[in-house]
């Protein structure tokens, strides 16, 4: 009676060949930890709309023909594979995928060539729930934060962000910065300037002229009490530019 491939494989498994091969392949993958370390240095890219949400790192590790035990890449018309080839390749892939799963990684074939193999590591978008993720990304770029440190950024409101325990930043569009500038100067006039002028003379104070004189020093002087600086940075993804002010 002719047996199917699955039946033959079940027999080999019952004889313990699968465990022997698994042990052998694990011992042969001595370079895998170094490859994972190298993966962590690869550029991180956002997934496209077809791939889902979040980010991914990928590293090319070779071709199916160069890595798998049989040295063969199976297609529907392939005719030179044996039961032994298929069996060994299945065990090899199982071992490799289990080891990668322990590192939160996966094994994937290339899009351009299915013979190419990549190790991939996927990451959630730390700004996915933010009201303005583009501002958070611009701030991360300005601060030169590595992706692993993006989670340190907290969104306090649509314009204000906190880093760690005590670093606060305003991230604004040009129009938002002008509005915040006017509001800041109005508050300064109300709380500091008019407070020093007797009430009967306050009507003679020219607030508009005073604000125009203050604006000579630039928006940073009003919006960045920490260092008086106005900084500009572009969100690497949307390419939208923002003005950044440290506020403490």
Model confidence pLDDT, tens digit, residues 168-219: 999 999 999 999 999 989 887 877 777 778 878 777 777 788 778 777 889 9
pTM above 0.85, yes or no: no
CA 58 from chain centre, in angstroms, equals 13
Enumerate the domain spans of the chain: 5-123, 133-246
Order across the sheet with 55-63: list the strands: 45-46, 55-63, 116-123, 106-109
pLDDT tens digits, 71-109: 887 655 455 677 788 888 989 999 999 999 999 999 999
Nearest alpha-carbon partner for 91 in 173, 21, 175: 21
Other C-beta atoms closer than 10 Å to the C-beta of 45 total 12
Burial label for 201, CB within 10 Å (0-12, 13-18, 19+), is exposed
d(CA 237, CA 248): 28
């Amino acid at each position: 009676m002719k047996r199917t491939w699955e039946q033959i494989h079940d027999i080999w498994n019952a004889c313990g060949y699968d465990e022997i091969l698994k042990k052998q392949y694990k011992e042969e993958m001595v370079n895998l930890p170094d490859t994972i370390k190298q993966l962590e240095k690869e550029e991180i890219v956002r997934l496209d709309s077809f791939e889902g949400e979040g980010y991914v790192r990928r590293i090319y590790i070779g071709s199916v023909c160069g890595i798998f035990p049989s040295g063969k890449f199976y297609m529907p018309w392939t005719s030179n594979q044996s039961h032994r080839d298929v069996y060994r390749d299945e065990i090899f892939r199982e071992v490799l995928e289990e080891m990668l799963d322990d590192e939160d990684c996966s094994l994937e074939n290339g899009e351009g060539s299915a013979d190419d193999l990549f190790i991939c590591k996927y990451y959630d978008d730390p700004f996915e729930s933010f009201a303005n993720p583009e501002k958070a990304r611009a701030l991360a770029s300005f601060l030169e934060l590595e992706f692993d440190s993006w989670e340190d950024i907290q969104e306090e409101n649509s314009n204000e962000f906190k880093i760690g325990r005590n670093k606060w930043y305003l991230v604004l569009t040009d129009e938002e910065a002008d509005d915040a500038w006017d509001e800041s100067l109005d508050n300064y006039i109300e709380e500091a300037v008019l407070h020093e002028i007797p009430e009967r003379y306050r009507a003679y104070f020219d607030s508009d002229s005073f604000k125009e004189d203050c604006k000579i020093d630039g928006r940073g002087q009003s919006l960045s009490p920490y260092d008086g600086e106005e900084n500009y940075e572009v969100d690497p993804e949307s390419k939208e530019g923002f003005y950044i002010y440290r506020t403490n």
